Amino acid sequence: MTYVPVTSARPEPVRVGLVGAGWMGSFHARSLAQRIPDASLVAIADPALEAAQLLAAELGVARVSPEPEDVISDPEVDAVVIAAPARFHAELSIAAARAGKHVFCEKPASLDLDELARVEQAVGDAGVHWQVGFNRRYAADFLAARRDVADGVVGTPQLLRSLTRDPGTGSIRNAERVPPGTIFLETLIHDFDALNWYNSGAEPVSVHAAADALVEPELRGTGFLDTAVVTVRYENGAIAVAEASFSTLYGYDVRGEVFGSRGMVQAGRATETAAVRFGAKGLSAETPRLNIELFAEAYRAELADFAAHVRARRDGGEAPDHGVPLTPGLDDARRALAVARACIEAVGTGETARVAGVPSRG
């Protein structure tokens, strides 16, 4: 038998190093190794070395370390995916940018606006691509709704809504370990980005926030919050509402809505599929219980977009064109964080808080 030699025209994949092998990092690792042709997972770092080794063995990754610096400084790594705990995101982004690596950082990009400004400086100095994990933008229905807004289907946005209800059992495991402000900085941060994205071109100017420990009331005195409703005012007059709960008995529920001068568009649903059962006890439907179930394709799509941007820079090609603003960068990270920080202020004072750190477009 004689085989005919074939020269592949397929470009070399982007070599990615992962920092953080926990819940989200592991999902990203499997996507990079198995589901994204433009990317190749080549290294994993996590202080929990055993977890990193098990993940690497599963995926055939040869280089593993307990030190993030080993991945960040590796000359065989083109880009770094940061899935470490939120308090480390900014310093890891800065280190990776200074090492000349492109960066995909899980949300939030930082917990502090001044710290995020240092990330912006480092990224700007290095000239690397930096992207934040606002995966909701990549979910098919949310993206379709955004395109409807861009096409004028709803007219001028007037009322917007976004909600995140995390699945729960009526109690929250290890709630006492959850840092104050988490509901704004790590949960509603997705909703704030979605609202900013839908009302593109208008800056958020003020917020009012009501929040409490309704699931774990015994922790009320510690600053823990598990339930929140936020009202955001925009400079174009639009009013948005975001809400969150840490314990939803019926499953994972994420939805969005834009009401405007011409109509309305909605995204998301509480059921896993459109299938509904009709029986003697009424109607029933399956509901998603995990973020990696509800947003599995969106998580993969955001990493595929990241790899495409990095490859375009590396190979001198064109960056992806999605028809509407999609790829979330530092400006998007800053705008969402500014709303989250204003919420923390508003809850502390009981008053409406101005959104700081967002440049005026006026």
The fraction of the chain above a pLDDT of 70, given in percent, is 98
Q: What is the mean pLDDT of residues 210-219?
A: 97
Q: Which of 131-140, 298-307, 315-324, 327-336 has the lowest mean pLDDT?
A: 315-324
pLDDT-derived band of residue 359, with 50, 70 and 90 as boundaries? low
Quick one: pLDDT band at residue 340, thresholds 50, 70, 90? very high
Looking at residue 361, what is its pLDDT?
45
Q: How confident is the model at residue 362 (pLDDT cuts 50, 70, 90)?
A: very low
Does 311 score more than 70 pLDDT? Answer: yes
Whose tokens are 């995990």? That residue is 290
Q: How far, in Å, CA of 342 to CA of 348, rounded?
A: 10
pLDDT computed for residue 269 by the predictor: 87
For the ranges 61-65, 200-204, 250-254, 353-357, which has the lowest average pLDDT? Answer: 353-357
Distance of alpha carbon 298 from alpha carbon 276, whole angstroms: 24
Please tell me the distance from the alpha carbon of residue 324 to that of residue 36, in angstroms, as a whole number.
22
For residue 212, give both structure tokens.
């409490």
Please state the rounded mean pLDDT for residues 130-158.
Answer: 97
- The pLDDT assigned to 85 comes to 97
Q: What is the mean pLDDT of residues 143-149?
A: 98
Q: What is the pLDDT of residue 257?
A: 98
| pLDDT > 90 in the chain, percent | 90
Distance CA 240, CA 342 (A): 15
Segment 6-27 shows an average pLDDT of: 91
| 8 A C-beta contact, residue 102 and residue 313 | yes
Lowest-confidence pick of 88-97, 211-220, 268-277, 351-360: 351-360
Strand partners, 283: 278
pLDDT of residue 357: 64
